[in-house]
Amino acid sequence: MKINMTSLKEQIPSWMKYAYIIHIILVSANVLVETPLVKITSAAVLLLALATLALRLKNAREYLRYPGFWIYLLFLGSFILSMLVNIRYGWHSNLKILAWMTIWFTGLYLFDERRSRESYRKELKISLILIIGMSCLLNLASLIMLLINFLSYRITPSGNSYIIGIAWWGRLYGVHVDPNYASVVATIGMMSCIYLFRSTSCRRDRILLGIAGFLELTNLAFGASRTGTVAACTAVGAFTLITLLQQKKRILKCILTSLLMIGLVVGAEKALTLSYNGYAALMTSIAARNGTAKKKDDKVTKIGREQELSGDVSNRRFDLWKNALSYTEENPIAGVSFGNFISYARQEAPESYLISNHFTTFDAFHNMFMDLLASQGIIGAAAFLALVVHNLRYLSRNRESASPQERMLLAFLFSTCLAVAVSSMFVSEILYVNNQCSVLFWLLWGYLIYFAGHKENPDEIPE
């Protein structure tokens, strides 16, 4: 049997994306961290990423004019410069970070222009279904834990400790390592449900997408993540505004409708939270009357973080950001490199909030731009901002040439990426950190740049 090499070369980058989505969402589950399963999926991603990189290098000339290619190389170069300048503080972590950022660029951002747009449409659909399916499985398991008032802890072989279930202070972790990142993924999943719902007329598919969208919404509500709420409002508001503007509606009507949709998102979250808290109060009351709620642990936990956030509304972020700015002042040109934040603090600045906060040792500043400034200084920040400006100008120049069939796709991709970008002002993602939000951002941003800039062949437009 002959192997179709052309087809194989097209499929390898697609397989890499699918494997990466599966791996990065699996590894975000606290019950799977440091298990053999995620080690296997990690190895699969690395092997497929190396094969994809080899294909990109073999056809390197075809990518030289790809939007932002040289600017991104400059950004990676500035990271290498920072890594070398600060090598006395360590190099191993930075080398891994460099490897992952290279994979994001070559495997997720770069697209083979020789492939048909229809093949990329199919690839995107499969990717979105994987995101929705994987996310909803974790959300369903978490929801069940909430309903049975389950709380436990897991300590991994390396000594890391994770909360499983509903935390006693009123926040659902479930099977998620971090509710903030989980809520951003839920936002991506919810927007994917909305896009696919509007793209199909199949009743069965719409019912399944409606159920999936509800499961994503439960994560946003019960995870009690302000970051997630901001991300969801940004995504829904931007998507509504852009689609209405594309339809040439009056600007005032577009803005008011967008605000209405944001209000519906917030209202839906509040309604779910209030409904559950009413259920929790009822179950606790019944247990008290029956004499079964003798211990604090027997009470059904309500959702709410008022006590947790009463002392510091930023939840330590302001102090972390001040720490990042002090790093930048001390190392303004090349920064201290992301992988060396802790080692730099221990050797040069033991008073740094990162390590002297009497709570935990932070390895990042919970803000992408603060991470960028502290890590790569002015050079890296300038390179990354140049890439952002270049990509936004590229999108602006090509927005009018998109076909009507593609405008909703572009609105979905842009608004979802915008939501992740906004959330990165409160958690570390997009740059340096190989987590689910970073991977999904570069995946969707890659699709956005590709579909925005490559003109459609009329013969490929689906019926």
Over residues 403-458, the pLDDT tens digits come to 777 899 999 999 999 999 999 999 999 999 999 999 999 999 999 999 998 665 54
- Of the two residues 2 and 180, the one the predictor is more confident about is 180
Identify the DSSP state of 2: -
The reported pLDDT for the residue numbered 215 is 97
- Find out whether 462 and 121 touch, Cβ atoms under 8 Å: yes
Is residue 358 in some structural domain?
A: no
Percent of the chain with pLDDT over 90: 78
Q: Please, what is the average pLDDT of the chain?
A: 91
**Per-residue burial over 207-233, b = 16 or more CB atoms within 10 Å of its CB, e = otherwise:** ebbeebbbbbbbbbbbbbbebbbbbbb
Q: Is the pLDDT reported for residue 6 higher than 90?
A: no
Q: Which of 253, 123, 237, 143 is nearest to 191 (CA)?
A: 237
The reported pLDDT for the residue numbered 313 is 77
| Enclosing domain of residue 160 | 112-316
The SS3 call for residue 37 is helix
Tokens coding 430:
């997009």
C-alpha dihedral sign at 83, 86, 87, 90: negative
* Cα–Cα distance, 214 to 208 (Å, whole number): 10
* Cα–Cα distance, 133 to 212 (Å, whole number): 8
**Mean pLDDT of all residues in 132-144:** 97
**Mean pLDDT of all residues in 259-271:** 96
C-alpha dihedral sign at 429, 431, 433, 437: positive
* Cα–Cα distance, 344 to 336 (Å, whole number): 7
The reported pLDDT for the residue numbered 291 is 67
Is residue 135 in some structural domain?
A: yes
Note the pTM of the prediction, 2 decimals.
0.93
The reported pLDDT for the residue numbered 358 is 79
The reported pLDDT for the residue numbered 461 is 39
Host H or E run for residue 189? helix 179-199
The SS3 call for residue 44 is helix
The reported pLDDT for the residue numbered 403 is 75
Q: Is the pLDDT reported for residue 382 higher than 90?
A: yes
The reported pLDDT for the residue numbered 316 is 87
Is residue 179 in some structural domain?
A: yes
* Cα–Cα distance, 268 to 252 (Å, whole number): 24
Host H or E run for residue 308? helix 306-309
Region class of 150: left (phi > 0), else alpha (psi between -120 and 50), else beta: beta
**Mean pLDDT of all residues in 361-366:** 90
Q: How far is CA 70 from the centre of its chain?
A: 25
State the burial class of residue 268 (Cβ atoms within 10 Å of its Cβ: 0-12, 13-18, 19+). middle
- Find out whether 393 and 401 touch, Cβ atoms under 8 Å: no
Categorize the per-residue pLDDT at 2 as very low, low, confident or very high, splitting at 50, 70 and 90. Answer: very low
- When divided into structural domains, the chain yields a total of 1
Is residue 436 in some structural domain?
A: no
Kindly report the backbone phi and psi dihedral angles of residue 180, in degrees, each rounded to the nearest multiple of 5, phi listed first. Answer: -65, -50
Q: Name the E strands within 168-207.
A: 171-174
Q: Is the pLDDT reported for residue 282 higher than 60?
A: yes
Beta bridge partners of 161: 155
Is residue 125 in some structural domain?
A: yes
CA atoms within 13 A on the CB side of 96: 8
Q: How far is CA 100 from the centre of its chain?
A: 15
The reported pLDDT for the residue numbered 1 is 42
In degrees, rounded to 5, the angle at the alpha carbon of residue 230 between the alpha carbons of residues 382 and 398 is 55
Is residue 443 in some structural domain?
A: no
- Of the two residues 6 and 198, the one the predictor is more confident about is 198
The reported pLDDT for the residue numbered 306 is 72
* Cα–Cα distance, 42 to 24 (Å, whole number): 8
Is residue 67 in some structural domain?
A: no
* Cα–Cα distance, 214 to 211 (Å, whole number): 5
Categorize the per-residue pLDDT at 310 as very low, low, confident or very high, splitting at 50, 70 and 90. Answer: low
* Cα–Cα distance, 187 to 416 (Å, whole number): 8
**Mean pLDDT of all residues in 345-374:** 91
The reported pLDDT for the residue numbered 458 is 43
* Cα–Cα distance, 48 to 62 (Å, whole number): 20
Question: What is the torsion angle, in degrees rounded to the nearest 10, for the CA atoms of residue 269, residue 275, residue 278 and residue 282?
Answer: -140
- Cα distance from N-terminal residue to C-terminal residue, the chain: 35
* Cα–Cα distance, 354 to 91 (Å, whole number): 19
The SS3 call for residue 151 is strand
- For the stretch 25-40, pLDDT in tens is 999 999 999 999 999 9
How many helices (H) and strands (E) would you count in the chain?
Answer: 16, 3
